Structure 1
Amino acid sequence: MSNFKELRTQNVSHGVIASTFADDQPLIDLSSPALKMVNNFTQKTPIRAEYETTITEALKQVSAQQSDYILVTDEHQKLVGLVSSADLQSSKITIIAERLNTPRSEVSLHDIMTPISQLKGVSMQSLSYACIGDALQTMEHQGTMFLLVTAASNEICGLISARQIAKKLHIPLHITPIASSFSQVLESIEHPH
């Protein structure tokens, strides 16, 4: 330890605990940079689960990590879809369980996920020139709650969540999902019994 020097110490017997102070971050609004709302996968690993994972198991993961979404992968860890935490708790699961003639507890992520083919993406470069309002407008126009973010190599490196924007900015959402198949239209219609 000869390479280090000893620090000068002081008497702390009359010391008091310092007051905490809020980090004075500027308020975020719709005109703030869109990059402020990107869940960057290179900075924080997103929750992932294989498509055969049950809804119950996925809900435990999402709740434990307080995430708005879970990325769905195949057996080779390739991204195949996405499920929102809201979908994991929605009546959509009961409808799908009835259609599949399976108990609700056995419905898997594969059964309720939004396939990657139906997800929309924007480049990180485009987002660097955009504001949060631009991203939200894009999601409203596309009828999607999420935008995947891509790097120059078309690698998916992040995600923007409409719910996260709404929660952070305390604004209502006006996103109506656009059905891309007849079965999705049927799922969205409530049948009277």
Structure 2
Amino acid sequence: MANFKELRIQNISQGVLAHTFIDEEPILKLTSPSLKVVHNFTQKSPLRATENTTISQALKLVSGDKSDYVLVTNEQQNLLGLVSSADLQSAKITIIAQRLGVKNNEVSLSDVMTPITDLAGVSMQSLSYSCIGDALQTMEHQGVMFLLVTTAHNEICGLISAREIARKLQIPLHITPIAQTFSDVIANVEHPH
């Protein structure tokens, strides 16, 4: 114990107990820092499932983890896309099953996911000097429900969910998906969001 020093002792005979402070979640506003709503994957691993996971399996994962989304990966853990919990429970599943000629429980995440090529990303650096309103404005303009967050080395390190922002701030969402392909246009006509 020669490497340590002794602390100064205080007289506590007249001491009173300190008050307990409840660590409440801070009230968020559109002007709060964007970083307050980032799901940081370096702090908590995101919910992942492989592309051939069925919708019913994914629903169990989402409800058990209380997550808004599932990241869809291949066997090598490369990110292929994303599926929202809302999509897992939507009429979109029935439409896709009919189109594929399979039963609803045979539809896989690869059939439903938004591919990584259609997802929007922002850098953690740009989020560090932005507010929640900026992130929401970006999602509205891009027609996306999620923003993937990247490091300076273009690694995906987090995600922002529009639904979570709306829930936490108790505000309505005004995001209209932007069709990327003709089949997206047909899907939106068959099943508007």
**Bin of the TM-score, shorter chain as denominator length:** 0.7 to 0.9
Deviates more, 1:45-54 or 1:178-187: 178-187
Unaligned runs of 5+ in 1: 1-17
In structure 2, distance between residues paired with 1:107 and 1:19: 54
In structure 2, distance between residues paired with 1:24 and 1:104: 41
In structure 2, distance between residues paired with 1:126 and 1:114: 24
Name the counterpart of 1:152.
152
Name the counterpart of 2:179.
179
Unaligned runs of 5+ in 2: 1-17
In structure 1, distance between residues paired with 2:181 and 2:19: 57
The RMSD of aligned alpha carbons is: 1.6
For residue 88 of structure 2, what is the amino acid of its counterpart? L
In structure 2, distance between residues paired with 1:175 and 1:90: 17
- Structure 2 CA distance for partners of 1:25 and 1:58, relative to 1, 3 Å: closer
When normalised by structure 1's length, the TM-score is 0.87
1:21-100 paired onto structure 2 within 5 Å: 22-100=22-100
The alignment partner of 1:58 has SS state of helix
When normalised by structure 2's length, the TM-score is 0.87
In structure 1, distance between residues paired with 2:19 and 2:154: 46
How many Å apart are 1:187 and its aligned residue?
Answer: 1.1
Deviations 1:129-186 (A, max 9, x none): 0000000000000000000000111000000000000000000000000010111111
The alignment partner of 1:165 has SS state of helix
Deviations 1:85-117 (A, max 9, x none): 000000000000000000000000000000000
In structure 2, distance between residues paired with 1:68 and 1:24: 22
The alignment partner of 2:136 has SS state of helix
In structure 2, distance between residues paired with 1:24 and 1:67: 21
How many Å apart are 1:189 and its aligned residue?
Answer: 1.4
Name the counterpart of 1:137.
137
Deviates more, 1:167-176 or 1:178-187: 178-187
For residue 72 of structure 2, what is the amino acid of its counterpart? V
- Structure 2 CA distance for partners of 1:134 and 1:52, relative to 1, 3 Å: same
Q: Provide runs of 4+ in structure 1 moved above 4 Å.
A: 18-21
Name the counterpart of 2:117.
117
In structure 1, distance between residues paired with 2:165 and 2:26: 16
